[in-house]
Chains A and B, each alone.
Chain A
Amino acid sequence: MIIIFLLLLPIAGMVHFMSGHLDISFNDLINSLFNFDETNTNHLIAREVRIPRMFTAIIAGAGLSVAGLLMQTLFNNPLAGPYVLGINSGASLFVAFSIMTGIPFLSSDLGIITNALIGAMVFGLIISLFSEVVRSQISLLLIGIMLGSFTGAIVSLLEVSSDASELKVFTLWSLGSLSRIEFSQIPLISLVFIVGIVGSLFLIKPLNLLILGQDQARLLGLNYKRTRFVIIAITAILIGLITAFCGPIAFVGLAVPNLVRIMLKSQHHGLLIVACAFIGGIFVLLCDALIQAMENYMLIPINVLTSIIGAPIVVLLILRKLR
Chain B
Amino acid sequence: MIELKKVHIGYTESILHCQDIKLECGNVYVLVGKNGIGKSTLLKTISKQIAPISGEILVGSKGIRNISTSELPKLLSFVPVHFPQMDYVRSKEFISAGRAPYTNALGKITEEDSLEINHAIEALGIETLSERFTSELSDGEKQLVAISKAIAQKTPVILLDEPTAFLDYSNKKKVLSILTKTSKSLNKCIVLSAHDIDLCLEFSSNFLVIDAYSKEMQQLVTPSREDIISIAFKESE
What residues of chain A have their CB less than 8 Å away from a CB belonging to chain B? 78, 202, 204-205, 208-209, 211-213, 215-216, 218-223, 261, 264-268
Interface size class of B (residues with CB under 8 A): 20 to 34
Say whether A265 contacts B77, CB under 8 Å: no
Say whether B84 contacts A212, CB under 8 Å: yes
Q: A205-B100, A221-B101 are in contact. Are A216 and B88 (CB under 8 A)?
A: no
Q: How far is the CA of A56 from the CA of B93 in the complex (A)?
A: 36
Q: Is B193 an interface residue (CB 8 A)?
A: no
Say whether B49 contacts A215, CB under 8 Å: yes
Say whether B93 contacts A267, CB under 8 Å: yes
What residues of chain B have their CB less than 8 Å away from a CB belonging to chain A? 47, 49, 69-70, 72-73, 77-78, 80, 84, 86-89, 93-94, 97-98, 100-101, 103, 105-107, 133, 153
* Residue among B49, B70, B73, B87 facing the most chain A CB atoms (10 A cut-off): B87
Contacts of B87 on A, CB cut-off 8 Å? Answer: 78, 261, 267
Q: Give, as a whole number of angstroms, the nearest-CB distance from B64 to chain A.
A: 13
Say whether B106 contacts A213, CB under 8 Å: no
The 3 lowest CB-CB distance pairs between A and B, nearest first, are A205-B107, A221-B73, A220-B100
Q: How far is the CA of A159 from the CA of B89 in the complex (A)?
A: 47
Q: A212-B84, A261-B88 are in contact. Are A205 and B49 (CB under 8 A)?
A: no
Say whether A219 contacts B105, CB under 8 Å: no
Q: How far is the CA of A264 from the CA of B87 in the complex (A)?
A: 11
Q: How far is the CA of A103 from the CA of B101 in the complex (A)?
A: 51
25 A-B pairs with C-beta separation under 8 A: A78-B87, A202-B105, A204-B106, A204-B107, A205-B106, A205-B107, A208-B107, A209-B100, A211-B84, A212-B84, A213-B84, A215-B49, A216-B78, A216-B84, A219-B47, A220-B98, A220-B100, A220-B101, A220-B153, A221-B73, A221-B101, A222-B69, A265-B133, A267-B86, A267-B93
Contacts of B106 on A, CB cut-off 8 Å? Answer: 202, 204-205
Q: A219-B73, A219-B77, A221-B70 are in contact. Are A205 and B105 (CB under 8 A)?
A: yes
Say whether B88 contacts A267, CB under 8 Å: yes
Say whether A219 contacts B78, CB under 8 Å: yes
Nearest to A266 among chain B residues (CB) is B88
Say whether A219 contacts B49, CB under 8 Å: yes
* Residue among A204, A215, A221 facing the most chain B CB atoms (10 A cut-off): A221
Contacts of B93 on A, CB cut-off 8 Å? Answer: 267-268
Nearest to B47 among chain A residues (CB) is A219
Query: Which residue of A215, A221, A261 is within 8 Å of B100 (Cβ)?
Result: A221
Contacts of B94 on A, CB cut-off 8 Å? Answer: 212
Q: How far is the CA of A265 from the CA of B47 in the complex (A)?
A: 33
Query: Which residue of B49, B73, B133 is within 8 Å of A220 (Cβ)?
Result: B73
Q: Give, as a whole number of angstroms, the nearest-CB distance from B103 to chain A.
A: 7
Contacts of A220 on B, CB cut-off 8 Å? Answer: 73, 97-98, 100-101, 153
Say whether A211 contacts B89, CB under 8 Å: yes
Nearest to A207 among chain B residues (CB) is B107
